[in-house]
Structure formats: structure tokens, C-alpha cells
């Protein structure tokens, strides 16, 4: 029954996407420039917190390969159909360079996986990942291989699932991100370096490294490709460890306008590291829902 509901929802989503889109006023500037200009106009408002990454809710998210073992459950316990959502916000801290070229931000992203349809198990939250960040966004005007390098980001982030003991997962990273664009097409190249942690003295040691092999599965960086046309956005995000094992992930997203402030959203994921509790387990998921804040 749940598989049928998901198939029907996807069919409705795709049919609605082919209907007439909400019109958008023409703008000759690039997609990144439009986004940064809107944020610049809004950030001086003391009552406003800016979106960081996409904010969405996927009421129907079907997982082809649930990982019961990672959560300490018996095989077959987890429901394949669950709800997942992401809340991602940032606040402007300071302008570090004159001319609005360098700005310091603090950000927080939370993503949850909710077993909302498991009524026999009190509908528990299977996993929630938290990621606070501090980063500098510097406005540039370089040309690279025919693309315009519009921004460079330098940041540090901590990601954790807030658990303890055997279920604890966390890591700290220093990263940089180069934003390349041409018209409404954007490429983001984001390599990172994991800050080392000491080895655990034993399985019950609360201070040691919870997941020493996480970079093998989460990769050494991320490549994002984004394209927007008439408020339709197509995104592709790739991660890879750049090693012989060739582990990583691919995520495809498509959003289309429903109203002036809301979009329909289809998300497909395959690979490792969708959530921290499952970082070393290959997942395949398709989700359908609502997008409240897009990349562009």
C-alpha cells in the first residue's frame, strides 16, 4: 500500500511539473548574483534570518535499503517509507572587507529522518544530523575556463547526530568552495579536510574518534551542478573519496514552482553518507515533497 502511494505521488508530482509555471520577471544578471543581491538587501533587517541550504519537507521518502543494524534494531524493524526534512539557516555576523566583498556568516543545518508511518513503534525519529558552520564568503571576479568565478568560501563545520555511546557519529572539517557560473548554470567545487581526532582508548571512551573511516565513505569533497530556468531548478551533487574503493554518492534534485513562495520537490539519492548513522551503508532513496527555500 505504501509503495503504491509513493508511485501515485510521484506521478502527480511529475504531471503537475508539466503545467504552466508561475511567471518570473526577466533578469539579465546571473543566478548567483540575484541570490547574493537579495541576501544583501535582507541581511540588515534585525528580525530576519537568511536561508542557507535548501529548506524542505519530503512527506514521502522511500528507502530501498533500510539499515536496521546501525540503529541497533532487529532486521525488518525499520519502515521503508518515512518522512525527511531539512532546516538550514544563516546569520550575517560582519562585513570584513570594504565594498561588501567579504562577509562572515554563522550557519546551522538540521536534517531529520522520521519514521512517521510506524504507528506500532510510536513513530520515532530514526536520526537527526546537526551541522553548525562558520564561514567567510568572498566576492570575486575571476575567469576560469570560460566560467566566471563569482565567489570563494572558506569555512569550518562540525557535524554530529547528537547521540552517545555506540550510536555516536561526528566529524569536523575545514573546507573551501569555489562558485563558478555562466548565466543560470552554476558549478560548485568544494574540497574539505577532516580535522583529525585521537583514537578511542576503548569502545566506551566518550572522547575518541567515533568514526575513523568516515572520509572513506563521505568522500574528500563535493561537486555541485545547478541549473535554473523560469523558477525550475535542477541540481546534481556528487561526492567521492578519490580512492581505489571509489565510494561516494550522487543526489539529484528537481524543483518547480507551486506558488510564489513554494515549490514542489523531487529528490533521488544513491550512495553512502546520506545520514551519519548510515555513513558506511549504501542507501537508495526517492522522496517527494515541498521546497521552501532553494539553492537559487
- Active centre residues (catalytic): 158, 160
Question: 82 near 61, Cβ under 8 Å?
Answer: yes
Picking from 237, 174, 165, the residue whose alpha carbon sits closest to that of residue 200 is 165
Instruction: Give the separation between CA 203 and CA 283, rounded to whole angstroms.
Output: 26
Picking from 49, 30, 38, the residue whose alpha carbon sits closest to that of residue 179 is 30
Number of other CB atoms surrounding residue 73 within 10 Å: 14
Task: State the burial class of residue 172 (Cβ atoms within 10 Å of its Cβ: 0-12, 13-18, 19+).
Answer: middle
Strand-pair category, 283-293 with 170-182: unpaired
**CB burial readout 266-286, b (16+ within 10 A) else e:** bbebbbbbbbbbbbbbbbebb
Instruction: Give the separation between CA 226 and CA 128, rounded to whole angstroms.
Output: 26
DSSP symbols for 91-110: EEEEEEEGGGTEEEEEEEEE
Assign 3-state DSSP to the chain and report helix, strand, coil percentages, each to 5: 15, 50, 35
Instruction: Give the separation between CA 66 and CA 283, rounded to whole angstroms.
Output: 7
Question: 241 near 220, Cβ under 8 Å?
Answer: yes
Amino acid at each position: 500500500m505504501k509503495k503504491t502511494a509513493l508511485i501515485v505521488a510521484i506521478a502527480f508530482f511529475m504531471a503537475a511539473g508539466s503545467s504552466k509555471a508561475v511567471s518570473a520577471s526577466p533578469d539579465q544578471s546571473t543566478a548567483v548574483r540575484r541570490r547574493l543581491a537579495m541576501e544583501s538587501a535582507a541581511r540588515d533587517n534585525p528580525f530576519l534570518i537568511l536561508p542557507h541550504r535548501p529548506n524542505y519537507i519530503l512527506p514521502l521518502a522511500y528507502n530501498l535499503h533500510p539499515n536496521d543494524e546501525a540503529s541497533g534494531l532487529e532486521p525488518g524493524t525499520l519502515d521503508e517509507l518515512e518522512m525527511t526534512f531539512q532546516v538550514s539557516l544563516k546569520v550575517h555576523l560582519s562585513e570584513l572587507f570594504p565594498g561588501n566583498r567579504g562577509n562572515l556568516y554563522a550557519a546551522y543545518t538540521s536534517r531529520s529522518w522520521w519514521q512517521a508511518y510506524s504507528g506500532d513503534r510510536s513513530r520515532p525519529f530514526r536520526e537527526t544530523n546537526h551541522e553548525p558552520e562558520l564561514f567567510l564568503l568572498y566576492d570575486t571576479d575571476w575567469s576560469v575556463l570560460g566560467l566566471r568565478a563569482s565567489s570563494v568560501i572558506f569555512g569550518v563545520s562540525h557535524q554530529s547526530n547528537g547521540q552517545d555511546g555506540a550510536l555516536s557519529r561526528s566529524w569536523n572539517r575545514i573546507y573551501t568552495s569555489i562558485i563558478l557560473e555562466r548565466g543560470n548554470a552554476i558549478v560548485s567545487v568544494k574540497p574539505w579536510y577532516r580535522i583529525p581526532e585521537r583514537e578511542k582508548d576503548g569502545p566506551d571512551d566518550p572522547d575518541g574518534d567515533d568514526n575513523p573511516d568516515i572520509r572513506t565513505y563521505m568522500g574528500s569533497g563535493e561537486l555541485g551542478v545547478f541549473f535554473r530556468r523560469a523558477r525550475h531548478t535542477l541540481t546534481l551533487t556528487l561526492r567521492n573519496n578519490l580512492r581505489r574503493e571509489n565510494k561516494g554518492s550522487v543526489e539529484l534534485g528537481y524543483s518547480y514552482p507551486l506558488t510564489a513562495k513554494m515549490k514542489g520537490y523531487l529528490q533521488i539519492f544513491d550512495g553512502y553518507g546520506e545520514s551519519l548513522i548510515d555513513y558506511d551503508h549504501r542507501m537508495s532513496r526517492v522522496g517527494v515533497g515541498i521546497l521552501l527555500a532553494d539553492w537559487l
